[in-house]
Structure 1
Amino acid sequence: MSENIVWHQHQVSHQDRCQQKQQKPCVLWFTGLSGSGKSTVANAVESLLFENNNHSYLLDGDNVRHGLNKDLTFNDSDRVENIRRIGEVAKLFTDSGLIVLSAFISPFRADRQQVRDLFQDGQFVEVFVDTPLEVCEQRDPKGLYKKARLGEIKNFTGLDSPYEKPDKAEIHLRTDGKPVEILAEEVIGYLRQSKFIR
Structure 2
Amino acid sequence: MSKAIIVVDFAYKGAKRKGYGTGRTGLSSTLKYLQYRDKVQNQLAENRDYERWQDRGMGLHWRDILKNSDQMQSKHVLAWTWVISPAPDLMALVPEHKRRDFVCDLTEHVVEDYYTERGFDLLEYSYILHDRSTEDEGLQQLHTHVVLPGTAPSVAERLPVYNNKERGHDALFRQVATQHFAAMLDDDIGPEWRREREDERTRG
Task: Bin the TM-score by the shorter chain.
Answer: under 0.3
Structure with the larger strand share: 2
Instruction: Report which structure shows greater RCO (CA 8 Å, sep ≥6).
Output: 1
TM-score (norm: length of structure 1): 0.26
TM-score (norm: length of structure 2): 0.26
